[in-house]
Structure 1
Amino acid sequence: MTDTKTIAVEPGNVNPSYEIDPDGDVTLVVHDIPRGLPAGLKDIPLDLLAGNTKPQESTTAKEKDSKTTENADSAARHLRLRVSSKHLSLACPHFARMFRSELREGIELRNNGRLELEVDQRSGTAVLLLMLVIHGRTRQVVDVMLQSQARLQGLDLDAPEFRGLHPNRWTC
């Protein structure tokens, strides 16, 4: 199994694209993503995936003074995820019906072999985590869950008793 990789991201692009399934036939366009997501999915800080922090924003003084620019930036920020219709169909009966039906999405997927769907959710990060789970890319998800639970319990993950849980996470 290969790591999730990035597709078509230009330097400074506020709209990254992640390839969760290299053979994916569906592109999800997810809105409401944090500003400053890295080009590579593996580079996303675990705190950001867990929803605990926001990435550092690098804005110019001119942008800080302009509410219009800020509003345009927030409206334009989105994340493109290449995923598999088969994985989506197995995970969710709604997608299974949509892709088999005579709805626009089903017809487009059958005729073109590809489909782009807008995802209207409150949290783009939650959609990203869900797609990672559905596609079996759980390495980062397990780390996020472990880190979040440990923080809730006031535990130190660098303590020797926790290193045995995922030894490859603490060794080089």
Structure 2
Amino acid sequence: MAHVIDPSGEVTIILHNANAPFAIWSAPISSGPARKADDTNKGVRIRVSAKHLILASPVFERALTGPWRESITLDQEGSTEITAEGWDIEALLIFLRVIHCQFQLVPLDLSLEVLAKVTVIADYYGCRAALGFFSCVWVQDSIIPKTYSRDLMLWVWVTWFFTLPDQFRGATSIAMSQCSGEIYSLGLPIPRAVIERMNAVRQSSIQSLHGLLEGQGAKILHGERGCHFECRAMLFGVLSMHMHDNKLDWPAILGQSYETSARATETVRRPRWREPCSEGSSNTNNRRLHNCPDCNFTRLLGPVEQSVQGLRLQNFLV
């Protein structure tokens, strides 16, 4: 299979293992599985311009002007070959047309999947600036995921690549709020510091939520909440049962998302029972509904944030 970007181009890119699996996700993929790798033994050949490659990419510049076989062959024979591995064919052709200034052939609408693949290629070849203009064209509301998924991690990468602070903050907020385990980069070139920070913030947020519940339980246990022994016993029992039933105790709480835990924290049932109107009274008809203010867990626990605040992109930029 052959493609021609520049008919008079001096360089042939030979793409092996085309359409290799990309950003592998262990859960079902909302946007459909990645295409299988191309099994063409000779690879996909793409004719391009050496000058455009050199001007756009420091990686290509080193290959074509340094003391390497590709550069020597280009000088001696006027043409050369460069190999590439695993790239998606559609994404690679879009990338090459951008750096060859063939904007009339560049699609204006890209799926998030293709956009992520194009930007990964551009990042690998050091061509972030060349794609900067297209962030205004390709980044559209229709491709923004609303839930934690493979697509969301693609979106985290795209917002990082194009330096979109508001969108990056929103994407990382969703990931840290909705992920029920460790957050992975899926092999995308998201900086390790970003992934490590996301996991640290997610865990610390869940720890804070658990600490709130444990702290109020300790206050009930030590008599700082509740108006008498029976009241404290009822409150402590209800809170303990709710934490157990909703996996809010430790370490079970780490196995579910912050968002799930936060919602469960706001649904602790208010215990209701009747007690004698006067001390020592045994008349079952002379009872009133217990109305201690501490029986209202919404008041006792206070407002609970329903999501984790996203990361600030500026904190990771050198």
Q: TM-score, normalized by length of structure 2? A: 0.29
Q: Which of these residues, 10, 13, 22, is aligned with residue 7 of structure 2?
A: 22
Q: Which of these residues, 144, 152, 155, is aligned with residue 143 of structure 2?
A: 152
Stretches of 4+ aligned residues off by more than 3 angstroms: 51-55, 144-151
Q: Which of these residues, 58, 63, 69, is aligned with residue 98 of structure 1?
A: 63
Q: Which of these residues, 88, 98, 109, is aligned with residue 123 of structure 1?
A: 88
Cα pair 1:27 1:82 within 8 Å, conserved: yes
Higher RCO (CA-CA < 8 Å; seq separation 6+): 1
User: Counterparts of 1:82-97 in structure 2 under 5 Å?
Assistant: 82-97=47-62
- In structure 2, the CA distance between the partners of 1:147 and 1:74, relative to structure 1 (3 Å rule), is same
Quick one: distance in 1 between partners of 2:49 and 2:64? 11
- In structure 2, the CA distance between the partners of 1:74 and 1:92, relative to structure 1 (3 Å rule), is same
- In structure 2, the CA distance between the partners of 1:101 and 1:152, relative to structure 1 (3 Å rule), is closer
Identical-pair percentage: 31
- Which of the pair has more CA radius of gyration? 2
Quick one: distance in 2 between partners of 1:130 and 1:140? 11
Amino acid at match of 2:61: A
Report how many residues are paired. Answer: 108
Amino acid at match of 1:152: I
CA deviations 1:50-108 (Å, max 9, x no partner) are: x98999xxxxxxxxxxxxxx99x725373211001100000111222222222111100
Quick one: distance in 2 between partners of 1:52 and 1:151? 17
Report the RMSD for the aligned CA atoms in angstroms.
Answer: 3.4
Q: Which of these residues, 115, 138, 141, is aligned with residue 103 of structure 2?
A: 138
Cα pair 2:6 2:49 within 8 Å, conserved: yes
Cα pair 2:6 2:47 within 8 Å, conserved: yes
Amino acid at match of 2:89: G
Q: TM-score, normalized by length of structure 1? A: 0.50
| Structure 1 position 18, deviation (Å) | 1.3
Identify, as 1 or 2, the structure richer in helix.
Answer: 2
Amino acid at match of 2:90: T
Identify, as 1 or 2, the structure richer in strand.
Answer: 1
